Amino acid sequence: MLTQSSPLLREVHSSYRYFLYRQKMSDSQEIVIAITPDFIKELLPSAQRTALLYHLSYLCLAKFPKLERVLRQRAVETQLLFGSSEALLLKCAATSKNLVSTLLPALKIAVEEDESILAIKSLEKARAWITEIVDKVGQMVDRYEKHNHSVASCSSDVILEKSLTEEKKAQTTTEIEAQEKAVKDLEDELKNNHQKIIQIETTIKQKNQDLYNHVKATSKKSNDGGFLSALVPFIEAVVKLFTKSDDDSEAAATVQVLSSELTQLSIEKSSLMSKEWSIHVRMTDMQLKLATMKIENGSIPDPVHLNDVQKCLSRIQNILIQLQKFWESVSVMLEALKDETFAKEDFILKRNMKATFLESINSAKGHWKAFGESCLHAKSIFSLQTKDAYKFLENSPSALTPEQWKKEYETVIEQLNKIDPDPFHYKVPGAPAAITQ
């Protein structure tokens, strides 16, 4: 039975916090003493934050499949670690219960009846039980430490991926700029080439007009204007006619010059037309490549979300350190309880010290009872985190639509904001009942 003035409360005040409140029953009132050990008061908010920060990080790794896979592994490891923590706390609670309900009472009877051999056997059995859970708690501390390193390694992977992504985006941007310049150069070349074609066509038109005027003037001089005028639309025929004619060698020479110039202009125009087609083909190819590069650049994930992931992982790492300290506290407490349980055991064979040893047993029972109830409380907290807290891992964040992603992200942030750091505000399902007076 615990009272406010009992030695037990004074002895464990540094390790446990107590508060009193009245609970009205159907036909009576009773004083309830609720125990909240310091070493578990941060456990629930820490465990809740861990799952939500993993969820937030997971969302921000959409389009980073490699990191998404690594983070999923770390989150599953954390979930399994919490499951192991739950099992170990249950074992701690069961050991405490066995000590309080069976072994320590048997030890007390053995001492009261001066059965020293039975008392020593009981002590050794208790020592073996406690040593076992002390060792297992030590192993749990090591597991948390190793897992903390794994999360730190994941954070390093995120930093590296962020660096590589930024480098890739910068490189791709440079390549896009170079490709855009190449396309622009081809567009300028095509424009210049087209202007040359227009100039040649203008010159050809002018030469044709000169040839027409020359043929017309020559026809009038030779009094054969009707015949030659009819041939004007057929420039090649006119040229041949003047080439074969010896009547006006000067006129024929002029026709040949104009004809040669027209031929040369036609050749140049043909060359420019071929060049124009070649430029069109190259430009089409470059434009397609540029479009592809821009699409690929858009598919390269923006590393801005990796900043959030890195921050979340750092917070998770700090929480895991706190949980590691929780188990270290359990280890320290176990050692202290172990010392308390076996205090004055040398007095077993000294009859005049029997009362002192019996008092030591009663004190140890109180400690172990409170410790067992605290372990059940902590076990309930870990149990909550091994059920649905990590259900988000079942779906890939890359499969979410932008609207779904935004809604889920905002929901996680809202849940994070709702976490109350005050441990007294929590009602944990399955928590042990308060110790009543």
Mean pLDDT across 111-134: 82
Q: Which of 163, 148, 125, 117 is nearest to 324 (CA)?
A: 148
Is the predicted pLDDT of residue 196 greater than 70, yes or no? yes
Mean pLDDT across 201-222: 77
Kindly state the percentage of the chain with pLDDT values over 70.
72
Geometric angle at alpha carbon 178, from 175 and 182, rounded to 5°: 135
Question: 300 or 88, which is more confident?
Answer: 88
Split at pLDDT 50, 70, 90, the class of 234 is low
Sequence-ordered list of residues with C-beta below 8 angstroms from that of 260, at least 6 positions apart, any chain: none
**In contact, 426 and 384? CB cutoff 8 Å:** no
Q: Which of 339, 370, 377 is nearest to 89 (CA)?
A: 377
For the chain, the average pLDDT equals 75
Q: Which of 313, 378, 306 is nearest to 148 (CA)?
A: 313
Mean pLDDT across 36-62: 79
pLDDT of residue 352: 62
Q: Determine the Cα–Cα distance for residues 384 and 302; give it in Å rounded to an integer.
A: 34
Q: Give the tens place of pLDDT for each residue, 92-103.
A: 899 889 989 988
CB atoms within 10 A of CB 93: 20
Split at pLDDT 50, 70, 90, the class of 226 is very low
Question: 313 or 363, which is more confident?
Answer: 363
Identify any residues that bridge with 35 across adjacent strands, giving them in sequence order.
18
Is the predicted pLDDT of residue 167 greater than 80, yes or no? yes
Mean pLDDT across 132-143: 88
Report phi then psi at 123, rounded to 5: -65, -45
Q: How far is CA 94 from CA 98, 164, 323, 428, in A?
A: 6, 51, 21, 19
Split at pLDDT 50, 70, 90, the class of 299 is low
Is the predicted pLDDT of residue 50 greater than 70, yes or no? yes
pLDDT of residue 21: 23
pLDDT of residue 191: 92
Kindly state the percentage of the chain with pLDDT values over 90.
8
Is the predicted pLDDT of residue 9 greater than 60, yes or no? no
CB atoms within 10 A of CB 83: 15
Geometric angle at alpha carbon 6, from 362 and 431, rounded to 5°: 75
**In contact, 35 and 366? CB cutoff 8 Å:** no
**In contact, 431 and 377? CB cutoff 8 Å:** yes
Q: Give the tens place of pLDDT for each residue, 336-377.
A: 777 766 666 655 555 566 777 788 888 888 888 888 888 888
Split at pLDDT 50, 70, 90, the class of 435 is very low
Q: Give the tens place of pLDDT for each residue, 388-402.
A: 788 899 888 988 898
pLDDT of residue 263: 84
Q: Determine the Cα–Cα distance for residues 403 and 387; give it in Å rounded to an integer.
A: 27
CB atoms within 10 A of CB 226: 9
Q: 390 in helix, strand or coil? A: coil
Mean pLDDT across 16-23: 26
Mean pLDDT across 149-164: 87
pLDDT of residue 350: 58
Question: 101 or 224, which is more confident?
Answer: 101
